[in-house]
């Protein structure tokens, strides 16, 4: 199984399997949780379909409903236990209505969302810097061959 015999055949089978699984998951996920754009393009078909919006900023909030923008589309959301304020970041799941609004079943208002994202970015960059420093001390790069060579100090 791990020999180089029939290598091209094994690569072709692997690529075909990955392609088939990717296509299957895309089709399955789109029917389970369609995007708002898909729902809006065929409102009668996707009426009362479950839809998920993740980390969207509220652009306008009024009593009983609020508006978010996603990919250039303005989406009106009703329901939810609390009404977020303008500028809040929300994640929600709800039901698409054929009149082009979402009735929220579950609504999460993210407090300090931008600050949390900044911390995640800073930690990720710090880990990358530590990794680069460690690898540069453990290995030397020979540009002529384009490989890492272990340092023998």
pLDDT tens, residue by residue, 30-57: 677 788 888 888 889 889 889 888 888 8
pTM of the complete model beyond 0.85: no
Does domain 36-110 fall under CATH 1.10.10.10? My reply is no
Closest listed residue to residue 91, CA positions, set 71, 105, 101:
105
pLDDT per residue as tens digits for the range 83-93: 888 888 899 99
pLDDT per residue as tens digits for the range 97-124: 988 889 999 988 888 888 899 999 999 9
Which residue reads 């999460």 in tokens?
108
3 state SS of 38: helix
Q: State the span(s) of the chain assigned CATH 2.40.50.140.
A: 36-110
Nearest-angstrom CA–CA distance, 70 and 72 = 5
């Amino acid at each position: 199984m791990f020999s180089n015999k029939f290598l091209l055949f094994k690569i072709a089978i692997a690529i075909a399997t990955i392609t088939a699984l990717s296509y299957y998951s895309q089709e399955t996920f789109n029917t389970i949780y369609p995007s708002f754009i898909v729902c809006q393009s065929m409102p009668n078909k996707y009426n009362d379909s479950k839809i998920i919006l993740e980390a969207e900023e509220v652009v306008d909030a009024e009593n009983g409903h609020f508006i978010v923008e996603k990919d250039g589309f303005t989406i009106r959301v009703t329901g939810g236990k609390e009404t977020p304020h303008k500028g809040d970041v929300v994640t929600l799941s709800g039901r698409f209505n054929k009149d082009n609004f979402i009735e929220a079943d579950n609504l999460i208002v993210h407090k300090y969302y931008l600050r949390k994202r900044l911390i995640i970015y800073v930690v990720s960059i710090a880990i990358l810097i530590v990794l680069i420093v460690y690898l540069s001390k453990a290995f030397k790069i020979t540009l002529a061959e384009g490989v890492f060579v272990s340092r023998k100090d």
